[in-house]
Structures are given as C-alpha cells and as structure tokens.
Amino acid sequence: MATTSDECKKITLRTADNQEFEVEEAIAMKFVTLNTFFEENPEACEEAMPLPNVSAKCLSDIIEYCKEHLKKGEAAETSFDEEFVKARDNESLKEMLLGAYYLNIKDLVDMLNQAVADRIKDKSVEYVRRFFGIDNDYTPEEEADLRRRVFRRC
C-alpha cells in the first residue's frame, strides 16, 4: 500500500480484474489521469487506486513501457518501441491503446496509434473489419454497388 501523502513513493493500483500493482510514484505520475487525481486528492495515496478500464496484463505492459521511457528519458530508444510493439499481438495492442487513452499517456497513445495504423496499412476492408471486430452490415448487393461507385471515382 502507498505511504502518507508527504512520502508517496509507491502508488498501489487495482486493475479491472482485481489485481494490485505497487508502482513507483514517478511511473504512476506518467499516467496523467492519476497525476491529476492525486494533485486534487493527495490523501488518496494511502488507498489502492481503482483502474476499472485496465486489465492486469494491459497495466503490466503499460508499466513496462513507462519504466523504459523514464529510464531513458522522454526520448527512449526507437528500437525499444519497435520491439515492444512487435512482441504484442493485435488484441494486446488494441487493449493497451484503450488503457493508454484511459490513463492519458500521450506518448504511448501516439506510438500505439501509429503501430495500429502500420498494421492495417494497405490491408483489405475484410482484414480491417476482422482487426477491429466490425461486422459487415451491408448485403452483398449493397457492398458491390458501393465498390462500383468508389472505383468509378478513382
């Protein structure tokens, strides 16, 4: 558990799946959502901060990213970011992106947005639908008509 607000060196975070993580204050303060909350509620350091929109796996990955960037300064090695993204499947990237948005970690959001864009670049409509879990609500006739109209413009 975290110490008093004057000595808040560790912050305890509780994920949506009820796992607790004790993280260094410097890491937790990279999460703008937490930073803002603790500035407004300094006494809250003594309790576990619930993160209802972030799973344990996702938070673990986010903490890993933030630790590396804190260690290397604001401009961590590009190679770290590349390897970090390569090591994650599409579902993990999407979940982490939602967690980064929720925690308001701009650098991570930007990097993950680019990673997702790179993964869907030049892919078929069907691939992008599968990637994002989007059902095709067009009938085959409507889709064929739409494709004809789009290709006429090109």
DSSP at 41: -
Q: What is the pTM of this model?
A: 0.80
pLDDT in tens, 76-95: 567 889 999 999 999 999 99
**Domain 5-121: assigned CATH number:** 3.30.710.10
For residues 90 and 147, which has the higher predicted lDDT (pLDDT)?
90
DSSP-assigned beta bridge partners for residue 129: none
Inform me whether the pLDDT recorded for 75 exceeds 70.
Answer: no
Hey, how many other C-beta atoms are within 10 angstroms of the C-beta on 141? 8
Residues across the chain: 154
Query: φ and ψ at 51, to 5 degrees?
Result: -120, 80
The predicted pLDDT at position 1 comes to 44
- pLDDT digits over 17-74, tens only? 999 999 998 898 889 988 888 888 877 767 888 999 999 999 999 999 999 988 876 5
